A and B are shown apart, each in its own frame.
Chain A
Amino acid sequence: MLALTKRALLGGAFALAATAAQAQGFPNKPITMIVPFAAGGPTDLIARIVGDHMSRSMGQQVVIENVAGAGGTTGITRAARSPADGYTIMMGHMGTHGAAPGLYPQLAYNPQTDFTPIGLAAGTPIVIVTKKDFPASTLQEFVAKVKADGDKITQAHAGVGSVSHITGLLFNQASGGKPTSVPYRGTGPALNDLVAGNVDFMADQIVNVAEQIKAGTVKAMGVATAQRNPALPNLATTTEGGLANYQVTAWNAVFAPKGLPADVTAKLTEALTKAVTDPVIKKRLEDLGADVPDAQRASPAALATLVKSENERWVPLLKAANITAN
């Protein structure tokens, strides 16, 4: 700390040289990773597990800073405006970098142009769960019932813009059903009413519902991925259930502000890839039901492509549903 102050006092020109030198010895001080959600949620968990490994492999602490608010966009806005020196990075998310442009017309950043992609961290696939006595046992039966009963079917979600909300809308688009939407403040209360049988179904991240499914307090109709999930190997995929166009994972990925020097990007990507391919970390994440990418899917180029395709998927859907958050 003392060294930093001293160096800065020596003036601008020297500071400039120091910045150049910084890239060489990157990282030489702690890195802040902004997590745009409150502590304890799935994104925070993944950030902490991955961040801990990155700290060890880079020899500098990765400090998690939770900046919650406005569906994660507050934290991402701040991170986007931070200096592009690699010392401020962020855990972006399907919501903040995929759906946000469709939810927030006045969004202060562009997910495709305002960031330097570092790489995909891990995602949690979406599962369609119903109350335990819902009269359907396969996805086909469920879709047929939802279509037949129209707004008599109730669909819970965790509030506007939440993962369960937007992936639920996507489900309705794919299945052609028009259920009554019942909003809750957070996943907990929504899941509670689903377990109690007060509402019929919801779409949610596997990490939130896996234990309930195993205990039989709710019934799972299908997991929205191409392959079955190792945490719930008996659960059929949506493709098996005849709804192949409903594939969605709440992905989390590391970004930095735009204009990050290439060598710094490379170092961060390397540390991230090391973390997600480490067998211990991979197992821990997979035990939670997470989908952990291989080195190829974790690359910056693959992430840039993902952001683009996600924007193309969510923005028209949310515009059509006439949902705006400001």
Chain B
Amino acid sequence: MADNSEEGSGLIKSPQDFVGGLALLAIAVAAFIGLSNLGSMRGFQFGSGTAPRLFCLLLGALALLLLLSSFTTRGPKLESFPWRGPLFILASVAFFGLTIRILGLAVTGVITVLLSGAAIDDFRIKEGTIFAIAITAFCAFLFPFALGQPIPLWPTFLQ
């Protein structure tokens, strides 16, 4: 059936619901498999797998319902997935997590801010660098010094 609206066309009338339903169904199935070796009810004592399996089944059923409804109910089209934002943001967060205990806030902070700043097209390297140093200096003053937080400040190999 041809469909010429702004919404989904062809067989799948609500692409967002279709993708979402499919993804969550996959999560439910994967989780259910992951739970297979857990115990179930023993007498009236709950097993470790009882509640999560119940939630899994519910999630799977509801996700399936959504998936099926995407063939019958019209809904908005899929949005485009830009790569630049997520890539740089995730890279900067991952960088922070992986290096904070090795490089310390002074180094990790500056690079984290720079990496995340690069997530937008109009990133200005000079302004960005000055800002990164300033905000890191502020955090370094606030957390380890003023608040006495046990966050490493300098790289471990410099100590």
A→B interface (CB under 8 Å):
1, 4-5, 8-9, 32, 63-65, 180
- Which chain A residues border B157 with CB–CB below 8 Å? 8
Q: For B159, what are the chain A residues with a Cβ–Cβ distance below 8 Å? A: 4, 8
Q: By the criterion CB–CB under 8 Å, are B148 and A8 in contact?
A: no
Residue numbers in A under 8 Å from B154 (CB-CB): 1, 4-5
Q: Closest Cβ of chain B: how far from A80's Cβ, in Å?
A: 15
Number of residues of chain B lying within 8 A (CB) of chain A: 8
Closest 4 CB pairs of A and B: A65-B150, A8-B158, A63-B150, A5-B158
What's the least CB distance linking B84 to chain A, in Å? 34
Main secondary structure of the interface of B (DSSP, over half): loop
A65 nearest CB neighbor, chain B only: B150
The answer on a CB contact under 8 Å between A1 and B150 is no
Q: Which residues of A contact B158 (CB under 8 A)?
A: 4-5, 8-9
Docked pose: A9 CA to B157 CA in angstroms: 10
Shortest distance between the CB of B142 and any CB in chain A (Å) = 16
Whole-angstrom CA separation of A32 from B149 in the bound complex: 11
For residue A65, which residues in chain B have a CB less than 8 angstroms away from its CB? 150
Residues from chain A with Cβ under 8 Å of B66 in the complex: none
- Known contacts: A8-B158, A9-B158. The answer to whether A1 contacts B153 by CB under 8 A is yes
Is B153 a contact of A32 with CB atoms below 8 Å? no
Q: Which residue of B lies closest to A78 (CB)?
A: B101
Q: Give the complex CA separation of A9 and B155 in angstroms.
A: 12
A8 CA to B150 CA in the complex, in Å?
21
Bound CA span A183–B89, Å: 40
Measured between beta carbons, the chain B residues less than 8 angstroms from A8 are 157-159
The 0/1 profile, CB within 8 Å of A marked 1, for residues 118-159 of chain B is 000000000000000000000000000000101001100111
Closest A residue to B159 by CB, please name it.
A4
Whole-angstrom CA separation of A64 from B148 in the bound complex: 10
Residue of B nearest to A29 (CB): B159
Q: Which residues, 78 to 134 on B, are CB-close (under 8 Å) to A?
A: none
Can you list 17 A-B pairs, Cβ within 8 angstroms, ordered by A? A1-B153, A1-B154, A4-B154, A4-B158, A4-B159, A5-B154, A5-B158, A8-B157, A8-B158, A8-B159, A9-B158, A32-B150, A63-B148, A63-B150, A64-B150, A65-B150, A180-B45
Q: Which of B148, B157, B158, B159 has the most CB of A within 10 A?
A: B159
A150 CB to nearest B CB, Å: 13
